[in-house]
Amino acid sequence: MLNQYMEQIETFGTWFALAVLFFLIGMAIQDVLKKGDVPKFGRIFVWLVLFLGCFGFIAKGIIQVIYESQGMG
């Protein structure tokens, strides 16, 4: 039974690991920004870049799922 769902388990594990990785990166950036006494504009810029990176990664995954479901990939 486990062999039937191995690909789905691997996919879920990969997505979960990447979510944890993004969370840890965010926590590290927050710590550096607090300790470095970064101005508000710099903090906003850093978080914007981090958010856009995460958003792009999620958008890529959604586009990939759509293409594969339509038989294009």
pLDDT score at 56:
92
| Residue reference for tokens 């990785």 | 21
CB contact at 8 A, 50 and 26: yes
pLDDT at 53: 87
Using 50 as the pLDDT threshold, list the residues of the chain that sit under it.
none
pLDDT digits (tens, 9 = 90+) for 16-35: 998 899 899 889 999 999 99
Q: Give the span between the Cα atoms of 58 and 30, in whole angstroms.
A: 22
CA 35 to chain centre: 25
- Helix, strand, or coil here: 19? helix
Query: What is the pLDDT, as a whole number, of residue 13?
Result: 93
Q: What is the pLDDT of residue 1?
A: 66
Global pTM exceeds 0.75: no
The two three-digit tokens of residue 33, written as one number:
């920004």
* Residue with token string 């479901």: 69
